[in-house]
């Protein structure tokens, strides 16, 4: 006896979903087309108004004055500070003649030969327009003891040792002011050690030569009263000291003013209304073309609905015709196509569909099992 080949559930489900989904989409678009054709007048009026409103919106958005707030640079100046130094040989030693002078750039300077450092700071101010200033300088040596606590440096103690002061001097734009002073590095080291001994606390100590430049007057037509610090690190060891390679510093100062400016018209300002205008125009054109075509045949929609309704059983149904000896056979009415398919599977038979009469049937042992596909009242009303 011929056996029925059952399809795997997952493949069967996938086929059902694909067929049903395709039919549903086709029915949806056919109904939509009929709706558009039947109500084309209303849609054209609505879309026409959308075209007019969006074009007006785009015109106003493009021609409307738009302002924005910006910052404008109205004044700027740069301060320059450059250190130079020499180390005079004041002590008798086996390396250098006493009275000679050690220039910049040596890897180290020994306390036994040259404990004193002669330093010069060249300061000038470069303004974009003009400058008339009074400038004074105060140089100190700053010693700071820090300790690492919780991943950050904390100051344990800090002190200053005065070195040199210079009173106010008048300078103009780009004029160079020279501030000269001497630092006895050996004495500074002794003072730091003395503080550590008195505190009974020894830790790494950072030492810097700091010159405070106080300036007041007029820069680019504005009154200025400010201070700039130029710090020069000084590394001190038990037998020697040394200076860093970077000896030149610049500090820029900018003054901005908020202004309101008019923006140039931009296409980005009309993106939304322009998109709406183009979409409405395209829709009107498409709707006009659609109205020139005939309505979709309701019988086509009805047929597609029927196919959609029984699409889950497509794999189990063959198309055919009711046999001539139909009336001579025993007839058993089945109430649903699902039940008829189940019976066909049990009997190893195949369901046959007579499209003209709408009858689904199987014949087994001279008995015809019938399901008559009669549209319900609800489906007729829907169509």
Segment-wise mean pLDDT, segments of 10 residues, the chain, 383 residues: 31 38 54 59 70 75 74 87 95 93 94 96 93 95 87 88 94 94 95 92 89 94 92 93 91 85 71 75 69 54 56 74 82 84 84 82 87 59 47
| Helices and strands of the chain, counted as H and E runs | 7, 17
- What token pair was written down for 120? 């010069």
pTM over 0.95: no
What's the pLDDT at 363? Answer: 86
CA–CA distance, 23 with 103 (Å, rounded to integer): 96
Query: Minimal CA–CA distance to 321: which of 288, 359, 283, 290?
Result: 359
Could you say which DSSP state residue 246 is in?
-
Alpha-helical regions (H) of the chain: 9-38, 40-63, 185-199, 271-291, 298-309, 337-347, 377-382
- CA distances 184 to 144, 159, 233, 355, Å, are 18, 17, 15, 116
> What is the bridge-based pairing of β-strands 367-372 and 330-333?
parallel
Of how many residues is the chain composed?
383
- CA distances 31 to 23, 282, 298, 304, Å, are 12, 21, 9, 11
Query: Minimal CA–CA distance to 107: which of 280, 311, 244?
Result: 244
Q: Answer positive or negative: Cα dihedral of 258, 264, 267, 271.
A: positive
CA–CA distance, 76 with 252 (Å, rounded to integer): 7
What SS3 state is found at 236?
strand
Could you say which DSSP state residue 29 is in?
H
The distance from CA 27 to its chain's CA centroid, rounded to whole angstroms, is 44
178 C-beta neighbours (distance < 10 Å), count: 13
Query: Minimal CA–CA distance to 363: which of 309, 307, 315, 321?
Result: 321
What's the pLDDT at 138? Answer: 97
């Amino acid at each position: 006896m011929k056996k029925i080949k059952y399809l795997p559930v997952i493949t069967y489900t996938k086929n059902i979903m694909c067929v049903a989904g395709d039919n549903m989409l086709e029915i949806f678009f056919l109904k939509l087309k009929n709706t558009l054709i039947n109500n084309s007048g209303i849609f054209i009026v609505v879309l026409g108004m959308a075209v007019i409103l969006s074009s007006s919106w785009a015109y106003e958005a493009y021609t409307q004055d738009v302002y924005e707030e910006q910052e404008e640079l109205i004044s700027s100046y740069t301060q320059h500070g450059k250190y130079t130094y020499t180390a005079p040989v004041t002590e008798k030693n086996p390396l250098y003649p006493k009275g000679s002078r050690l220039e910049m750039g040596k890897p180290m300077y020994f306390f036994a030969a040259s404990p004193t450092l002669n330093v010069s700071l060249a300061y000038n101010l470069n303004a974009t327009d003009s400058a008339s200033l009074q400038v004074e300088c105060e140089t100190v040596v700053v010693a700071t003891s820090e300790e690492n606590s919780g991943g950050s440096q904390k100051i344990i103690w800090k002190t200053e040792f005065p070195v040199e002061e210079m009173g106010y001097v008048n300078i103009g734009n780009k004029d160079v002011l020279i501030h000269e002073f001497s630092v006895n590095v050996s004495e500074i080291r002794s003072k730091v050690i003395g503080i550590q001994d008195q505190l009974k606390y020894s830790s790494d100590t950072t030492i810097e030569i700091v010159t405070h430049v106080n300036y007041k007057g007029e820069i680019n037509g504005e009154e200025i009263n400010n201070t700039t610090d130029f710090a020069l690190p000084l590394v001190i060891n038990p037998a020697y000291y040394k200076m860093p390679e970077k000896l030149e510093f610049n500090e820029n100062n900018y003054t901005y003013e908020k202004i309101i400016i008019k923006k140039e018209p931009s296409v980005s300002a009309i993106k939304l209304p322009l998109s709406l205008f183009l979409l409405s125009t395209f829709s009107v054109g498409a709707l006009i073309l659609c109205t020139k075509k005939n309505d979709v045949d309701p019988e086509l929609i009805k047929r597609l609905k029927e196919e959609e309704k029984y699409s889950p059983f497509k794999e189990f149904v063959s198309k055919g015709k009711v046999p001539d000896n139909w009336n001579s056979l025993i007839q058993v009415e089945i109430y649903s196509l699902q039940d008829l398919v189940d019976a066909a599977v049990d009997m190893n038979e195949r369901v046959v569909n007579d499209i003209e009469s709408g009858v689904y049937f199987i014949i087994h042992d001279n008995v015809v099992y019938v399901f008559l596909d009669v549209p319900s009242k609800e489906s007729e009303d829907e169509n």
